[in-house]
Every structure is written in structure tokens, then in C-alpha cells.
């Protein structure tokens, strides 16, 4: 098998990254562009939800859960036991509405709850 010709290599190469052989962009802009291409919400949206988490779900649920990511409108939340996933699932419509008030419409459209420690049992389930 003969080695690829120079033009074949160019065709198989990766697309240009922000700031590469073109206009320079700030690190923040580059991160935002990469995040957008991956379907991630703006970093400010993630920070806003994380900082407001106690107000969004209440102190008790917040003590057993954390925001993992916002991607393609899906807010992913981790809980420390299966017992804490149920109240979050019941709160989904309210939580989407509260997140929309905080971030604007369409940033969060659904919730996914994941259990981080599958074998752990909660001492005081909701």
C-alpha cells in the first residue's frame, strides 16, 4: 500500500481550531466555542445553576445532590443514593421552569438524575 499523497493528508486532517492560522481569540472565547460544539451550555449558565442549587431544589435535596452538567438542554444531576432521585424526578417540571427563569428559556429543557453511589442507602429518605 502506497503512502497517502500530500493532498490526501490535508483532506484527513482535523478542522482548524479557533485562533489557529487566523484571527486570534481569547481563551474564554475558545472555550465557549468548544463547549458550544459539544452541546454544553455557557459556563456562566452552569455556574448560575450551581450557585442557585439550594434555592432551586431546597436545602434538604441540595444536601444530597449536585449539578454535573448542562448539555443540549439536559440538566444532569447526581444524587448520593437512589432514594434522592425520586423527589428530583417529581420536581422536574418545576425545576425546568425555575432554571428557565434563572437562565432564560431553552437552556434547560429536561432533567436527568444519576446515582453516584449505587450501593449507598440514605439514612433519611425523602
CATH number of the domain residue 59 falls in: 3.30.300.180
Range of the domain at 7: 1-38
C-alpha cell at 22: 487566523
- Sign for the CA dihedral angle at 111, 53, 107, 105 comes to positive
32 shares its domain with 59? no
Select the more confidently predicted residue: 122 or 97: 97
Residue 4 pLDDT > 80: no
Query: Does the predicted model carry a pTM greater than 0.85?
Result: no
If one counts the domains in the chain, the total is 2
64 shares its domain with 126? yes
33 shares its domain with 95? no
Select the more confidently predicted residue: 46 or 11: 46
Separation between Cα atoms, residue 41 and residue 31, nearest integer Å: 11
How confident is the prediction for the chain on average, in pLDDT? Answer: 78
What lies within 8 Å, CB to CB, of 44 at 6+ separation is: none
Select the more confidently predicted residue: 119 or 49: 49
26 shares its domain with 73? no
Residue 125 pLDDT > 60: no
- Positions of E strands within the chain: 65-71, 74-79, 110-115
What pLDDT, in 10s, does the model give residues 30-65? 766 766 666 556 768 888 999 999 999 999 999 999
79 shares its domain with 116? yes
- Positions of E strands within 1-89: 65-71, 74-79
79 shares its domain with 96? yes
What pLDDT, in 10s, does the model give residues 77-91? 999 999 999 999 999
15 shares its domain with 64? no
23 shares its domain with 72? no
State residue 45's pLDDT score. 82
Percentages of the chain per state (helix, strand, coil), in multiples of 5: 45, 15, 40
89 shares its domain with 106? yes
DSSP 90: H
103 shares its domain with 47? yes
Which position has the grid cell 479557533? 18
The interaxial angle of helices 27-37 and 43-51, nearest 10 deg, is: 80
State residue 14's pLDDT score. 61
Amino acid at each position: 500500500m502506497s503512502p497517502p499523497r500530500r493532498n490526501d493528508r490535508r483532506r484527513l486532517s482535523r478542522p482548524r481550531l479557533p485562533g489557529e492560522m487566523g484571527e486570534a481569540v481569547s481563551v474564554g472565547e475558545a472555550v465557549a466555542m468548544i463547549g458550544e460544539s459539544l452541546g454544553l451550555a455557557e459556563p456562566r449558565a452552569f455556574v448560575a445553576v450551581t450557585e442557585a442549587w439550594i434555592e432551586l431544589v431546597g436545602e434538604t435535596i441540595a444536601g444530597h445532590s449536585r449539578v454535573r452538567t448542562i448539555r443540549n438542554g439536559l440538566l444532569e444531576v447526581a444524587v448520593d443514593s437512589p432514594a434522592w432521585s425520586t423527589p428530583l424526578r417529581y420536581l422536574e417540571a418545576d425545576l425546568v421552569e425555575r432554571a428557565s427563569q434563572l437562565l432564560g428559556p431553552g437552556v434547560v429543557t429536561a432533567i436527568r438524575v444519576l446515582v453516584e453511589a449505587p450501593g449507598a442507602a440514605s439514612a433519611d429518605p425523602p
